[in-house]
Amino acid sequence: MRNIITILTLIISLQSFAQNSYDIENRKGKLFFNAGVEYRITPIYQNGAELDIINTRGAISVDAQSSGTALNFGLNYFITKNLSLGFSNSFRYDIITQRSTEISGDFGYSPAKNDLIFGYHFYLDYHFKVFKEAELFVRLGKSFLNRGTEFETKTRFFDNSGNPTITAFSKQDTAYEPWNFALGYKKNKLNLILGTYTSSITEYFVDGSSFIVPYLNLTYNFGKL
């Protein structure tokens, strides 16, 4: 709730400074630069979905890793006055793994590992002039999320007598590539976007469960070429 209030405050503040940065009729062939903040709401997925083995040991908190605030920087190139091709890079500092498996006794604690998590977003926006001084636009894109979430797992194998025989280490991550569907409102330099990252293939689950991350994005255009 605090993050949503912060985003709404930014909307009000930026709107007071926003001025028309370009003529809609003349933006074809122009490249625009932007920066913004995104709040990812708690993900939606099937209750009882079959977790991957890396999660059955408590290594990953699915909800914590997939929600929260991200900063983003991007650009949009207008192919026509209504159609634009965009790219943005998002940054988050959030949980990678929670190291509860390192607690050997009945009681204790272990800090979670946090680090930068990156996302790369490619999309097409189509704009509709439906208001006198504003537009709506729809977005279809492909995102590459959870880059930078690499960690190592340890597996020990035992013989028929219960004696350890082999200890194997492997590299894992929770990166996945969802579709990005969104509806946006644009007025002057300010964009407000409500969307979802949607995929049925993630490293969180092994049974093809749909995984949806709703998000609210506020972006400000600060320059052009």
Q: What is the DSSP string of 6-52?
A: HHHHHHHHHHHH----S-GGG-TT-EEEEEEEEEEPPPEE-TT--B-
Is residue 96 packed enough to be buried (19+ CB in 10 Å), middle (13-18) or exposed (0-12)?
A: buried
Tens of pLDDT, residue by residue over 163-219, are 666 766 677 889 999 999 999 999 989 999 999 999 999 988 877 789 999 999 999
Residue 2 phi, psi dihedral angles, 5° rounding: -65, -40
Give the pTM.
0.80
Quick one: pLDDT at residue 102?
Answer: 56
146 pLDDT higher than 80: yes
Report which residue type is found at 206.
V
Mean pLDDT, the chain, whole residue set: 82
123 pLDDT higher than 90: yes
Element (H, E) at 153: strand 151-158
**How far apart (Å, rounded) are the C-alpha atoms in residues 43 and 61?**
12
3 pLDDT higher than 90: no
18 pLDDT higher than 70: no
Query: Dihedral (C-alpha) 184, 186, 191, 194: value to the nearest 10 degrees?
Result: -20
Query: What is the distance in angstroms between the CA of the first residue and the CA of the last residue of the chain?
Result: 37
Element (H, E) at 223: strand 211-224
Quick one: pLDDT at residue 158?
Answer: 66
Tens of pLDDT, residue by residue over 41-81, are 999 988 666 666 555 556 788 888 999 999 999 999 999 99
